[in-house]
Structure 1
Amino acid sequence: MSVDNSKDLMMIDNGEGDEPLSQRQLNPIFASVLEARLARRQVLKGSMGAAMLGFLGVGLAGCKSDSDSDEPVTDPGTEQPPVEQPPAELLGFKAVSVSSADQIVVPEGYSHAVIIPWGTPISGALPAFSLASTGEDQADQVGNHHDGMHFYPIDGSSTDGLLVLNHEYIEPRFMHLSAAGQSLGSGGVPAFDAQVGRPVDEVLKEINAHGVSIVRIAKAQDGSWEVVQSPFNRRITGLTRMELTGPVRGSDFVKTLYSPQGTATRGTLNNCGSGPTPWGTYMAAEENWAGYFRNGATETNPAPREHARYGVPSANGRYGWELAADGSDRFVRFDASENGASAETDYRNEPNCFGWMVEIDPFDPDSTPKKRTALGRFGHEGVVFAPVTEGQPVVCYSGDDSRFEYIYKFVSAGTYNAATADGSLLDEGTLYVARFNEDGTGTWLPLVYGENGLHEDNGFYSQADVLVNTRTAADFLGATPMDRPEWGAVDPANGDVYFTLTNNSRRTEEQVNAANPRAANLHGHIIRWAEQDANHAATSFEWDIFLKGGDSGESGVATNIGYDPKGDRLDADNVLSSPDGLWIDPDSRVWIQMDSGATDPFGNCAMLVADPNTGTVKRFLVGPISNEITGITMTPDQRTLFINVQHPGSGTSGAEFAAGNYVSRWPDFDDSLPPRSSTVVIWKDDGGVVGS
């Protein structure tokens, strides 16, 4: 069940910390470039203009007319309609300055506090955090490298609820006492005896630091937030039993020694963004999972495309978990080589059990997480659901966070009913991939077995095959390769969909296109579209570019009252690079989080806020040294905002680490402790809506 993809292959190097090298054939890419973005005036002249007019409203941005011929002809004697007043400004705070300090910076009139840093005890015997904590201890403590997050209120409360958050990856050198004094760079594993293997407890600790944390938190009388001991508190790790659902369940692609029937697997890894479902569950995204495995493939016995296209390496996995000294089943599964007589006797298919969206019920501690395979297998950055309507399909979007990868949409076969809706709606439906056209239109291409050439003649033998090889199927259909599609968000006011395209330093001048208009795109941009007839299940859309990151000489931001590609530049209040995390609050503020590292003139990674009605963008928060700002959620009353600070101090060099000179000591500022990923609570001192 494989196809020859060797013709015209190129290696996509996704850089340190991202996915490993993967083999793929780039689709033909448009040669021309749109300098900035499409004016609504141009959009309305397109094939869908009349249908879109009512929907766009204050959505996709339009330019002021630059030609008298575009102005309507009116009779001077006729009563003219009232002049439309500009929309009220959503951003009521004073922008904070760029910062390179090892601290959190918030606007005047705001305060913040740190909660649930890595290692906070939440369940079991509540083992206190210590570098001497064991692997078993870690299973009862908050995981490492906090990422996507959502607040689930208890009985609608804004002071009591479940905070559910992902843990993307780890820094082994900051986790183990054995690392002290060694020259270890970011991601470095402490030295071990190759004849014996990696220490079992270190490997167990690293696996248990991955996954998801469910933590009940409440606001005390003094205004502080604290962890509440609760039966809801739960760790889901790289060892937790998971159920496979949807078209891939039971297929030959996912049969393993652990689950010969192909119905289950263990654990979830590299969980980046997330997404709350309309029925109150949590979706954790499996992003750069491929590098955790190895496949000892050779020229005579090459890796299957479901490994090669995703970058499963032939050398050791990212942390060498398959080298754990005891050789037990829970660790050897990270070796996906053909070591047995059949798939049911080894773990050649283990990587195929990863790359999915994982649904978790935070209010049922006994529930088994479910990997929803109908949503496709790729490097999910997260998932964002469109607003649901009774009697209509459920629609959600997801980006594949890797250079030259794609944006996807899933439309359920069943329809939404608030009284009965659950995750089974995500097991049947159509997965689409986006094609962005030069003229500002777009098409959703269905990834359906038997349609559009996705059949045996082209190497696809079932819907399970199409989904396990989602990237290959999208290649075949001619989807538009994007500049690292990451987080998505939907504006509740008008249904516009936004996606961050973080950066792509590998794009050449010959590879630019309208939707990805810059070669060597170091600073990224945000794309936005409106579905035809305001119907999120539609198969066509119209798009523009909302914002281009960069310094003041090459950046720009769209507004609803005009856009000049030579003006509207970002300035000292809002210069940004590498937009990553994205969220739109109930008032339509667009929250944008950076993942750029500390570089001039951008300073430490920051969080900005945009007003899509006016195009105003302001810097709201700056994080500590060598961090990434990620994860964002609010309480229902919008008076409390939660964000995550991930991997502070990750820029510490090997020599600095060996000397104990970490570039960041946030948040503990204790020389005996490493920097720790943590959640930050932010509130307005006057008790008002955050951002207003």
Structure 2
Amino acid sequence: MSTEPRRLLPLLSSHRPGRSAVTCEYRCGNACAHPAPNTSDNTYFGDVAKSVLSRRGALKATAVMSATAAGFAALSGTAAAEVPAALAGRGNGHGKPSRPVPGTDFTPVAPNTADAVVIPDGYDQEVVIRWGDPVLPGAPRFDHRNQTAAAQAMQFGYNNDFVGLIPQDSSGWRHLMVVNHEYTTETHMFPAGTYDPNNPTEEQVRIAWAAHGMSVVQTVRDPQGGLKVVPSRYNRRITMDTEFEVRGPAAGSDLLKTSADPSGRVVLGTQNNCAGGVTPWGTVLSGEENFNQYFANADAVTDPVEAERLRRYGFKAGASRRKWERFDKRWDLGQEPNEANRFGWVVEIDPNDPNSTPIKHTALGRFKHEGANIKITKDGRVAVYSGDDERFDYIYKFVSNGRYKPGRSAHARRHNSRLLDDGTLYVAKFTGDSPANEIDGSGRLPSDGEFDGTGTWIPLASGNVSHVPGMTAEEVYVFTRLAADKVGATKMDRPEDIEANPVNGRVYAALTNNSDRGKAGKAAADEANPRNGNRNGHVLEWEEHRGDAASTTFAWRLLLVCGDPAEADTYFGGFDKSKVSPISCPDNVAFDSHGNLWISTDGNALGSNDGLFAVPVEGPNRGQVKQFLTVPIGAEACGPVITDDVVLVAVQHPGEGGTAENPESHWPDGGAAQPRPSIVAVWKKGKWGRSGRIGS
């Protein structure tokens, strides 16, 4: 356990909850301080329930059957053979808790505000790599007072988020670690007094360009525990100067052409890379998220159609926060309006080929991708799940036409990557199964004791064919949000990371929060988003029809309604709320080899530092949330990676609640050191291997 002092606190304290103002400004451009871009008038379950679903029994007997077609009787008495027990009303935590579930046998960490990574007793930790550490040969040692763009392009980037491990041997000793660098906070990156937000120097801007993107590093297991970064030909930095190939049905579209790229097929850089996923063929998918904040002068675009497209994606008038437009016109929408359309994609890199050109996949749609994760369909095709991280935006799925080729050879990687360029893009519509008067926005459970229902995947486009009236296929892919508005998708509470459980096959999505839910003129609570003023978020679970990711119907329920377990508006899978850790603002999800769900948080609204939590999803312990660690002051817990031997967490933006002169945190180096975003490894004390398994 960390030797840093813990500062315990009540769940609701005078400590300012949530993200710092600095984080909000630089990470997402203060998105929550502005009106939500989705002003569509989609119909919601709660709006029509009185006229369509006057009785719960009527829904279960008739509406579910007709809505899901093909005889899918999810959540009805006949569904038990097709829907797992947890989605058929059994194994939902109401039974007597068993002994600790394998993978979760640790003593939970208490809520705290320590300036440290606080871990359970019996565990060790170390920093694997931190901002500015060498990645490429010849990289200089990090010098906070004498940074250069050339040095940063060879060093580990800023504000690490997604972490992926790609095995390089069967023993698990060597991996390629891939890390996203989501955004830069220039007011904290540079020494006090050297950075003027209104007048950055060109060199400072170029340092920021180099600090974005991704890093690939070779890691080896340390016999004493943890991972170590070693020199390797695979080590790589991807920055805002790296060339990307645009692929898929929108490649070459007039909507993507600029003066620098009249082909519409080559983009420099990737930015705001948030979560991601390791593909079955050993590449990495990464989602471009809050890209809108980097562009200036949206008000210079006067064509009403183009202006509405920019507004729907959150582009603002006037200068950008970082002033990049002063040094490259592509960030000025008045000069290059199409440059904005070249970000907001899922990108793919091949860590095993350091000379490969990264890809932007247009068939997966353009929005604020939190990440992208894959599940193989029953007939061998590829399904990709992704959330649009914005208040009142949507959940998406892509299903390929071609079939997956097992293996991680260069041939298999090329073949499988091409699958992501041809298929059908869908958006989700959720329907609850409770009467309208039981979904009142309070978070009170309906009479059946669960928030649950059925859902439909609505097709948006297949290849060059649009399924959205009034939009071409190219417009659907480039302006996916507007397409989803038109077909009546369900507005969600900031859908973030989405991943399929490799053990039970179900899919889990983190919905971080939405304090605007239920406000005047905004969408009211529905059963999939059951609380107005939702500060703490929830976790959604669904089962595709017959467990097939290619299905267009599914059954869903909420696993967690997060917050203080002492409050009436929280729900922990039916588990005894007096025996769980409080959890707020779920962000990223991952799974261990037992199928337990692990959740990292962003913006804890309960007064504690953010952290990482484990929760069983099966049996009598279903919903038993246990906090595994907390991150330092001002930081967010990202990543994470859960193996039998080690947990990896990306500690993002430590100390951002303070200033460059007086940061709130001095982690990881302590003393008066500048805080540095870093990757942390945690493992059980003792010999690596079976005796040292996480949570065993």
Counterparts of 1:15 and 1:664, CA distance in 2: 17
Instruction: Show CA shifts across 1:461-518 (max 9, x none).
Output: x211111010000000000000000011212222111101100001116611110000
Which residue is 1:190 aligned to? Answer: 196
Instruction: Call closer, same or farther: CA 1:155–1:301 in 2, change over 3 Å.
Output: same
Counterparts of 1:112 and 1:92, CA distance in 2: 18
Could you tell me which of 338, 342, 351 is aligned with 2:340? 351
Which residue is 1:689 aligned to? Answer: 693
Instruction: Call closer, same or farther: CA 1:41–1:572 in 2, change over 3 Å.
Output: farther
How far did residue 192 of structure 1 move? 5.4
Which residue is 1:126 aligned to? Answer: 139
Counterparts of 2:576 and 2:47, CA distance in 1: 23
Moved more, 539-548 or 602-611: 602-611
Could you tell me which of 364, 367, 376 is aligned with 1:375? 364
Moved more, 426-435 or 485-494: 485-494
Is residue 268 of structure 2 the alignment partner of residue 266 of structure 1? yes
Which residue is 1:496 aligned to? Answer: 506
Could you tell me which of 354, 379, 391 is aligned with 1:365? 354
Could you tell me which of 384, 391, 400 is aligned with 1:403? 391
How far did residue 53 of structure 1 move? 2.4
Q: What TM-score results when the alignment is normalised by the length of structure 1?
A: 0.83
Instruction: Call closer, same or farther: CA 1:52–1:266 in 2, change over 3 Å.
Output: farther
How far did residue 161 of structure 1 move? 1.1
Which residue is 2:283 aligned to? Answer: 281
Instruction: Show CA shifts across 1:134-182 (max 9, x none).
Output: 01110000011110111111123422111101011111022223xx148
How far did residue 40 of structure 1 move? 14
Instruction: Show CA shifts across 1:191-216 (max 9, x none).
Output: 455xxxx3111001001111100011
How far did residue 49 of structure 1 move? 2.5
Could you tell me which of 486, 493, 503 is aligned with 1:483? 493
Which residue is 1:467 aligned to? Answer: 477
How far did residue 129 of structure 1 move? 0.6
User: Do 2:504 and 2:595's aligned partners in 1 also have CA atoms closer than 8 Å?
Assistant: no
Counterparts of 2:544 and 2:509, CA distance in 1: 14
User: Do 2:108 and 2:626's aligned partners in 1 also have CA atoms closer than 8 Å?
Assistant: yes
Instruction: Call closer, same or farther: CA 1:157–1:139 in 2, change over 3 Å.
Output: farther
Instruction: Call closer, same or farther: CA 1:41–1:134 in 2, change over 3 Å.
Output: farther
What are the within-5 Å matches in structure 2 for residues 285-684 of structure 1? 285-298=287-300, 300-302=302-304, 303-324=306-327, 331-337=328-334, 339=335, 347-387=336-376, 391-418=379-406, 420=412, 421-439=415-433, 440-448=453-461, 454-455=468-469, 458=470, 460=471, 462-508=472-518, 511-551=524-564, 552-559=566-573, 563=574, 568=575, 570-571=577-578, 573-597=580-604, 600=606, 602-613=607-618, 614-615=621-622, 616-635=624-643, 638-652=644-658, 657=659, 660-671=661-672, 673-684=673-684
User: Do 2:509 and 2:539's aligned partners in 1 also have CA atoms closer than 8 Å?
Assistant: yes
Moved more, 144-153 or 306-315: 306-315
How far did residue 64 of structure 1 move? 8.6
| AA of the residue aligned to 1:587 | H
Structure 1 SS opposite 2:133: coil
Counterparts of 2:588 and 2:617, CA distance in 1: 17
How far did residue 52 of structure 1 move? 4.3
User: Do 1:442 and 1:543's aligned partners in 2 also have CA atoms closer than 8 Å?
Assistant: yes
User: Do 1:452 and 1:477's aligned partners in 2 also have CA atoms closer than 8 Å?
Assistant: no
Instruction: Call closer, same or farther: CA 1:224–1:444 in 2, change over 3 Å.
Output: closer
Instruction: Show CA shifts across 1:590-648 (max 9, x none).
Output: 10111124x54x4111111101112221111011101100101145xx21111111001
| AA of the residue aligned to 1:401 | D
User: Do 1:430 and 1:447's aligned partners in 2 also have CA atoms closer than 8 Å?
Assistant: yes
Instruction: Show CA shifts across 1:537-557 (max 9, x none).
Output: 100001101001111213544
Which residue is 1:117 aligned to? Answer: 130
How far did residue 300 of structure 1 move? 4.7
Instruction: Call closer, same or farther: CA 1:158–1:554 in 2, change over 3 Å.
Output: farther
| AA of the residue aligned to 2:169 | D
Counterparts of 1:138 and 1:191, CA distance in 2: 20
Which residue is 2:445 aligned to? Answer: none
Which residue is 1:249 aligned to? Answer: 251
Instruction: Call closer, same or farther: CA 1:64–1:412 in 2, change over 3 Å.
Output: closer
Runs of 4+ in 1 over 6 A off after TM superposition: 39-45, 83-88, 449-453
How far did residue 432 of structure 1 move? 0.3
How far did residue 258 of structure 1 move? 1.9
Give ranges in structure 1 of 5+ residues lacking alignment. Answer: 1-13, 66-82, 183-188, 325-330, 340-346
Counterparts of 1:268 and 1:513, CA distance in 2: 35
User: Do 2:134 and 2:156's aligned partners in 1 also have CA atoms closer than 8 Å?
Assistant: yes
The alignment-based identity, stated in percent, is 39
Counterparts of 1:445 and 1:63, CA distance in 2: 29
How far did residue 15 of structure 1 move? 6.5
Could you tell me which of 204, 207, 210 is aligned with 2:209? 207
How far did residue 451 of structure 1 move? 7.5
User: Do 2:383 and 2:549's aligned partners in 1 also have CA atoms closer than 8 Å?
Assistant: yes
Counterparts of 2:100 and 2:225, CA distance in 1: 31
How far did residue 261 of structure 1 move? 1.0
Counterparts of 1:609 and 1:677, CA distance in 2: 23
Instruction: Show CA shifts across 1:231-259 (max 9, x none).
Output: 10000011210000001101101111221
Instruction: Call closer, same or farther: CA 1:41–1:300 in 2, change over 3 Å.
Output: closer
| AA of the residue aligned to 1:640 | V
Is residue 141 of structure 2 the alignment partner of residue 152 of structure 1? no
Instruction: Show CA shifts across 1:358-417 (max 9, x none).
Output: 00000111100000000000000001111455x521111000000000000000011122
Instruction: Call closer, same or farther: CA 1:684–1:250 in 2, change over 3 Å.
Output: same
Which residue is 1:54 aligned to? Answer: 81
Structure 2 SS opposite 1:333: helix
Which residue is 1:74 aligned to? Answer: none
Which residue is 1:69 aligned to? Answer: none
| AA of the residue aligned to 1:89 | V
Counterparts of 2:96 and 2:311, CA distance in 1: 56
Counterparts of 2:57 and 2:234, CA distance in 1: 48
Counterparts of 2:356 and 2:170, CA distance in 1: 22
Instruction: Call closer, same or farther: CA 1:320–1:385 in 2, change over 3 Å.
Output: same
Could you tell me which of 149, 154, 157 is aligned with 1:140? 154
Counterparts of 1:424 and 1:451, CA distance in 2: 18
Instruction: Call closer, same or farther: CA 1:163–1:61 in 2, change over 3 Å.
Output: farther
Instruction: Show CA shifts across 1:284-304 (max 9, x none).
Output: 110000111123435854544
Which residue is 1:79 aligned to? Answer: none
User: Do 1:397 and 1:409's aligned partners in 2 also have CA atoms closer than 8 Å?
Assistant: yes
Instruction: Call closer, same or farther: CA 1:64–1:279 in 2, change over 3 Å.
Output: closer
User: Do 2:291 and 2:343's aligned partners in 1 also have CA atoms closer than 8 Å?
Assistant: yes
